[in-house]
Amino acid sequence: MASSMLSLGSTSLLPRQINKNKLNPFLRTKSLSRVTMSVAVKPSRFEGITMAPPDPILGVSEAFKADTNELKLNLGVGAYRTEELQPYVLNVVKKAENLMLERGDNKEYLPIEGLAAFNKATAELLFGAGHPVIKEQKVATIQGLSGTGSLRLAAALIERYFPGAKVLISAPTWGNHKNIFNDAKVPWSEYRYYDPKTIGLDFNGMIQDIKEAPEGSFILLHGCAHNPTGIDPTPEQWVKIADVIQEKNHIPFFDVAYQGFASGSLDEDAASVRLFAERGMEFFVAQSYSKNLGLYAERIGAINVVCSSADAAIRVKSQLKRIARPMYSNPPVHGARIVANVVGDATMFGEWKAEMEMMAGRIKTVRQKLYDSLVSKDKSGKDWSFILKQIGMFSFTGLNKAQSDNMTNKWHVYMTKDGRISLAGLSMAKCEYLADAIIDSYHNVS
Ligand code: KET
């Protein structure tokens, strides 16, 4: 007991604590130096807090930074880099920012639901301007802290209004999905998605698992450019997925973090979401502008809940705001203004599309070069064509944990331990080196 009172040391005791300590006979009899000595042995209140493991994705960037080898390559996080492997700020973003400075936009708080012009723009980008769900005001849209924050708001809404309902997530999926639902105390399980034998979609497994889930489950779907596999259902398969979800009264929950990055076209990449909207289904869509506008650190995205009536949308929106207020009060304005300016101006919108095509195009070019390098260097006859079939920012290499460790420890190629590499972080100049690393890891490590 005495030692706990001494924990602050005699020189930093606050008046209230000094008064308390006057009642303590131990203190009265001890000299100043004895008091200081006891500080050293006092265990911290945080003794019970163990070291958290590094994040499987963002932790890779931390490890990369610490590596001094000049050959090092960061293919961990899905963040676009130029051919010189530098971060890229889109020209259209700079233009929108200049406009904001010229206008002298203020820094007042936004409403809890975010910037109205952004919410309008983001829903239109997703469903297409003039879509009936927008015209009939059936979508509850609120600005979120990028994709992650928007998913987290939806998870909180599920926990509050659908107690016990389960979320089904693809196996595998983006690593943070599980954290998000765990933290929101929403139970989840997995549906089959990736088939290592075919290095493709396990479509039958997926359909069967969705069918067998308890009626009214939430089915988390990647709108496009599935992370980490880079394998998307075909348009025909999306129709069947929608059929079984409808049959079982499930609620689809789309995560759209790569709109424009799969095909290079914003509209094409929204086709899955629009298919569900056309069927008059109720569903969730979380959006992110981290990748397609390169606004990673601005934390700009949205959660949209498509409801069957305008009245339900108003109520849902009010509850999303209620969840947001004690979490972070209201969202940041900077990224919201950028998106609103870019989408709301025909010229800038056109420029954005061109830059997005350029980014998606660069990734396709390195994808091809990596494939060519693997085929020309690897004499084993292994079929590497799966790399060309995958889409989006990533390639799911099929390398296991030990092989991925070899990529990092021996070759200084930083990647996630599930075998995913971000092609957005690869340059043409590094393709041959990467191919050597992959071939060595694949054939010489088991
Ligand atoms: N969904 C998916 C599927 C996704 O890959 C990411 C980010 C997000 C949502 C969230 O991004 P935000 O920046 O919150 O809008 N993925 C990359 C970065 C990360 O892990 O945070 C990644 O997989 O590398």
pLDDT of 5 higher than 70? no
Residue having the nearest C-alpha atom to atom 20 of ligand 1: 57
Please compute the mean of the pLDDT values over residues 354-362 and round it to a whole number. Answer: 94
173 lines ligand 1 (CB under 6 A): no
User: Distance, CA 103 to ligand 1 centroid (Å)?
Assistant: 32
Q: Compute the Cα dihedral for 312, 336, 291, 186 and give only its sign.
A: negative
- Percent of the chain past pLDDT 70, that is, above it, reads 91
More confident residue, 11 or 214: 214
Residues 422, 442: Cα–Cα separation, whole Å: 18
pTM beyond 0.85: yes
- To test the pocket of ligand 1, the residue of 81, 176, 261, 273 to mutate (highest count of ligand atoms within 8 Å of its CB) is 176
Average pLDDT on 296-323 reads 98
Is 232 a residue whose pLDDT tops 50? Answer: yes
Alpha-carbon distances of 43 from 12, 25, 32, 36, 46, rounded to whole Å: 18, 22, 20, 14, 8
Distance 147 CA to ligand 1 centre (A): 7
DSSP for residue 181: H
Residues 224, 182, 304, 424, CA torsion sign: negative
pLDDT tens for residues 234-275?
A: 999 999 999 999 999 999 999 999 999 898 899 999 999 999
Cα distance between residue 159 and residue 186, in whole Å: 6
> Rounded to the nearest 5°, which phi and psi values hold at 191?
-110, 150
Number of neighbours of residue 174 by Cβ within 10 angstroms: 23
Residue-wise pLDDT tens digits, 420-438: 999 999 999 999 999 999 9
**Could you give the angle at which helices 235-247 and 203-212 cross, rounded to 10 degrees?**
10
* Catalytic residue status for 255: yes
Q: Is the pLDDT of residue 148 over 80?
A: yes
Task: Summarize the confidence of residues 397-411 as an average pLDDT.
Answer: 96
d(CA 420, CA 121): 32
Q: Inform me whether the pLDDT recorded for 72 exceeds 80.
A: yes
Centre of ligand 1 to C-alpha 88, Å, is 17
| pLDDT tens by residue, 310-328 | 999 999 999 999 999 999 9
* Angle at alpha carbon of residue 212, lines to 229 and 269, rounded to 5°: 35
**167/218 Cα distance (integer angstroms):** 5
Helix (H) or strand (E) run with residue 169 in it: strand 167-171
Burial class (CB in 10 A: 0-12, 13-18, 19+), 117: middle
**Average confidence (pLDDT) over 91-102:** 97
